[in-house]
């Protein structure tokens, strides 16, 4: 069967779930909702921005006059450290308190400097801060999982245009990493090898879905990708978490991030929106030899800067579905320039 032309399902080895692929639907006309293009603003400072250096945040706290990266506890965190762990059960109804810390990570003091526009050396500083936060937050006895992520662009619900990411550290392991942990553990115990290490070897041999690679990292479109131009950055070595990266590997990781995000911007020549996140081993004190950390990018744009992929209907009630195949997306992404379209 020719996967590029016929409807088919693909298996996600990391979650144990299936996705429906319908490549023939790329020919259908679009008369639905369109989004506004995300235009890059060139101002280095905005006096009304809650995240710019020295400014007062919505909660009343004042930012430091930071000159590199900067992190602080979110004034409106979704989870909090105060309180005690309790569980309540009433028949089939059960709830428990969730303890945690939410932090904001400002990538740069420059209000308009997104990751693809940053120098590799400056992205390295972001990675170093991620490593620092992973170690410090993970050291709390109550914290068992660290989720590092970035929502870029209004279409992804980003509430502030200043380039930044977030870290949610919490007492329980969330659903997505929990599912990935189960699948990785099953494979590791059966094969004595990291699931992503084996997968990466197969992808490097096939060369169909590779977007970029250097000595330490490979960026590719996963075989089971759900979002139109979804990608994943995987370290070649079997590392459980980002804290294990050497200084050389920090630079390689930064290069992969810069190349990939630059290609995204070049795809439709806009500041490309996405949600990106790092999945890595829990911080619950266990060894977790099965875990192989990786960074995923989930961009919503489908055919142009204004046409978004919606997860509705079938995706909500059945399982995820996509039109463009992973191979088609990878071919398009790989051909894009690594030089940003703005010059």
Q: Do 329 and 229 contact (CB within 8 A), yes or no?
A: yes
Alpha carbons 338 and 255: distance in angstroms, whole number? 10
- How many helices and strands, by DSSP H and E, does the chain display? 6, 14
Sign of CA dihedral 46, 47, 53, 59: negative
* Distance spanning both ends of the chain, measured CA to CA: 43
Burial class of 28 by CB neighbour count within 10 A (0 to 12, 13 to 18, 19+) = exposed
Of 211, 239, 179, the residue nearest 328 (C-alpha): 211
Helix (H, G, I), strand (E, B) or coil at 134: helix
DSSP code at position 219: E
DSSP code at position 117: G
Q: Name the residues annotated as catalytic.
A: 164
**Where do the DSSP E strands lie in 133-239?**
145-152, 164-170, 210-213, 217-220, 231-235
């Amino acid at each position: 069967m020719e996967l590029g032309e016929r409807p088919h399902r693909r298996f996600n080895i990391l979650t144990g779930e299936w996705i429906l692929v319908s490549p023939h639907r790329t020919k259908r006309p679009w008369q639905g909702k369109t989004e506004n293009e995300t235009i890059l603003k060139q101002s280095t400072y905005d006096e009304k921005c809650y995240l710019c250096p020295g400014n007062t945040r919505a909660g009343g706290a004042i930012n430091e006059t930071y000159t590199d990266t900067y992190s602080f506890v979110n004034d409106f965190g979704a989870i909090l450290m105060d309180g005690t762990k309790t569980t309540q059960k009433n028949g089939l109804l059960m709830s428990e308190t969730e303890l945690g810390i939410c932090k904001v990570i400002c990538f740069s003091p420059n209000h308009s400097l997104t990751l693809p526009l940053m120098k590799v050396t400056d992205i390295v500083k972001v990675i170093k801060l991620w490593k620092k936060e992973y170690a410090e937050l993970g050291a709390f006895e109550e914290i068992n999982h660290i989720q590092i992520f970035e929502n870029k662009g209004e279409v992804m619900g980003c509430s502030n245009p200043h380039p930044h990411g977030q870290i949610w550290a919490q007492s329980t392991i969330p659903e997505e990493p929990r599912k990935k942990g189960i699948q990785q553990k099953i494979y590791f115990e059966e094969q004595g090898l990291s699931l992503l290490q084996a997968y990466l070897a197969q992808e490097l041999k096939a060369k169909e879905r590779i977007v970029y690679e250097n000595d330490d990292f490979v960026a590719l479109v996963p075989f089971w990708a759900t979002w139109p131009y979804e990608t994943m950055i995987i370290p070649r070595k079997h590392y459980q978490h980002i804290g294990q990266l050497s200084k050389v590997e920090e630079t390689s990781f930064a290069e992969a991030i810069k190349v990939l995000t630059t290609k995204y911007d070049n795809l439709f020549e806009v500041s490309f929106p996405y949600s990106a996140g790092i999945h890595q081993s829990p911080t619950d004190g266990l060894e977790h030899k099965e875990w192989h950390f990786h960074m995923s990018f989930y961009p919503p744009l489908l055919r142009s800067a204004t046409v978004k992929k919606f997860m509705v209907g079938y995706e909500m009630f059945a399982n995820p579905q996509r039109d463009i195949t992973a191979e088609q997306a990878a071919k398009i992404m790989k051909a894009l320039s690594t030089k940003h379209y703005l010059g």
